[in-house]
Chains A and B, each alone.
Chain A
Amino acid sequence: MNDIVIHVENLGKRYRVGQLEPYKTLRDTLVNAVVAPVHAVTSVLHGRPSTTDGSRSDNTIWALKDVSFEVRQGEVVGVIGRNGAGKTTLLKVLTRITTPTEGYAEIRGRVGALLEVSAGFGHPEFTGRENIYLMGAVLGMKRAETDRKFAEIVDFSGVKTYLDTPMKRYSAGMRMRLTFSVAAHLEPEILLVDEVLAVGDAAFQQKCLGRMGEVAQGGRTVLFVSHDMGAIQNLCERCILLEDGRIRNIGRTRDIVNEYLTTSLAISNVPLAERRNEQRRDATLIYTSIEFQNSRGQKLSNLSSGEDTSIVLDYLCKDTQKLEDVKILYTIKRMGENIVALDTELSKNFEEIQGKGRIICNIPRLPLMPGYYSLDIRSYSKRIITNHLYDGVAFYVKEGPFFDSGLMPPDSEARTLVDHSWVLEEG
């Protein structure tokens, strides 16, 4: 009983939608203060219930509701769910950055947190060296501790030569690497991590993943939020699946990841236009619809192995911007693991895109094993990201005529299908 280090009970967090606005002016509040009692009185006169704070209940959303779970000492627990499911809010409540509206949580041990470090949060005017100390202090490291780990941090970040350069001259990647490196050397008993692996280049991501693995093996308790099912499966024994702020299921990672991918299948049938909030806020190329079609141009809901398949993406350029040198990258993943990359750069990027239109990617004889997959969509213009829909589409591939026999290799033997033929030459 004593080895439970995180105990969460009926935790809930409500946001008033108005509060999500950047900030309000005093005048608005004064006006509201005058108007609210009138509203309250009118609603009483009309026999409608009035909420205590004078706001209408439809102005609030529960980002988190009735969340209860426990984590034992040394466990590595994944938190998964679609964008807006409440993962980040959960970590923000547990790290005390924001307070819950209801419920209760107890955490035993020194807590360290890594939230949205992607942007880095040092001060631009300070040098890398100064920022290491500053960030260390902010993250709760003692000065002596930072001293001790300084070399290690610098080494990990790979920005050694720029150590005495003000951070404003750093690239975004360097800034992020430095921040992550400081954070990665925290030694709390409980580590709360949010989506740290979505940053940096592949090599650095690998390094981060390795570091996370070390931390996990070091007997520390980790709560790990990620979209990366591969990382989740590598690191976590257990997973929590959140959906609309509630816990949908808790259990063994494999089962939960499967469930997540299955449910996101149902959700991905919702047209992209209604899922604008999952795309990047600063997107310059907006994805308005995506669908799969067969060779006759008919829409497919299920794909089959071996069938000629097209991925059809409708887009809309923001404003009247003309995008040049456009790269489209689809990554097909299974259980979070990359299986296939479909990349314009492998042949030729689109020279120019504007207005709206349709991008078609043809895949002859779909070489995928039967199962659930997700499709990650990214686009770039002149190497700058224009949009990203993280695992935006889930789909199911059923057995099909890839091989003339119609047979499929067993799941344990293969990841993809490869065209091949056999010849027997008898001596």
Chain B
Amino acid sequence: MTERDNVKQGTDAILVPTITIRPPRGWVPINFGEVWAYRELLYFFTWRDIKLRYKQTLLGAAWAVIRPVLMMVVFSVIFGNLMKVPSEGVPYPLFNYAALLPWTLFAEGITRCSNSLVEDATLIQRVYFPRLVKPMASILAPVVDFAIAFVIFIGMLFYFGYPLIITMLWLPVFLLLTMVTALGVGLWMSAINAQYRDVRYALPFVVQLWLFVSPVVYSSNLLSGPLQVVYGLNPMAGVIEGFRWALLGTDPPTSLMTVSVIIVVVLLISGAYYFRRMEKIFADVI
């Protein structure tokens, strides 16, 4: 064999993707390259989730509006009018709705995420794809609902005579933070749910409790100084106060936010590792 052939063969060997299959060992990081290679599948799963969302419903996408708006109305009557919960000088409906925007996205995201592997058990047992794509898609799909609900928020701003403010440019950042938080929690939930269906029973209850320990119906200003930092351990506290600050110009929740962001990062990384570890046995246990 001439030297030229040798070189040619060498390059061929590099071009051909080689898959190595070994028993799983310990904790391995997420293979982001692979997830990227499967980005079309991510797109398709997201598209599927969006399309399926309101199939065979009477009101269709109106649900994206009905849910947060009805919650806002009920909360405004009970907590705003009757209990007079302080709302940092903002009209209570606005104050509450600005929190319900990320909250609905988060609650919807983790609920769907936790179910994302189980609902496609047959697929997981028959086809290989990076499993991470599924929970990611189930976080992306509810963003459409978020966008619809946000239009209502703009309308409310005009109704209450509130201006559009420059901090609103931060919205994408907080939107991303909400999604990352949901993904962090969702990764844990979906991986546990693959093996233990307890999640199915626990989750609706957890979501309900979480709503009330998050500053949705009240302001985190009810807590002072050091307690704020502790409160930030609930990552949704940071997310929600961030939204209020960006959309309504309330006080910037700096210390709370810092703690929340750290927690989110920890959640995401640990969730990703746990998911990766459990990924190996999904097909066997699901």
Contact = CB atoms under 8 A, between A and B. Distances in A.
A423 interface: no
A89 to B, nearest CB: 10
B286 A107 contact: no
Contacts of A98: 280-281, 283-284
- Is chain A's interface secondary structure helix, strand, loop, or mixed overall? mixed
A25 B196 contact: yes
- Is chain B's interface secondary structure helix, strand, loop, or mixed overall? helix
B67 interface: no
B18 A106 contact: yes
B21 A106 contact: yes
Interface stretch (A114-122, A256-264, A379-387): A114-122
A98 B21 CA distance: 10
Interface stretch (A136-144, A311-319, A337-345): A136-144
B56 interface: yes
B127 A111 contact: no
Contact of B21 (A93, A121, A134, A143): A93
Interface in B260-286: 280-281, 283-286
Interface string A293-337: 000000000000000000000000000000000000000000000
Contacts of A140: 41, 129
Interface residues of A, number: 49
B198 A25 contact: yes
A52 to B, nearest CB: 14
A100 B197 contact: no
Contacts of B128: 95-97, 113
Interface stretch (B44-52, B76-84, B218-226): B44-52
A104 B127 contact: no
A365 interface: no
Interface in B10-64: 13, 16-24, 40-41, 43-44, 48, 51-52, 55-56
A19 B19 CA distance: 27
A24 B41 CA distance: 30
Nearest to A136: B44
A347 B44 CA distance: 52
Contacts of A23: 195-197, 285-286
A110 B15 CA distance: 11
Given A96-B19, A137-B41, 5 more contacts: A25-B196, A97-B125, A99-B281, A108-B13, A119-B122
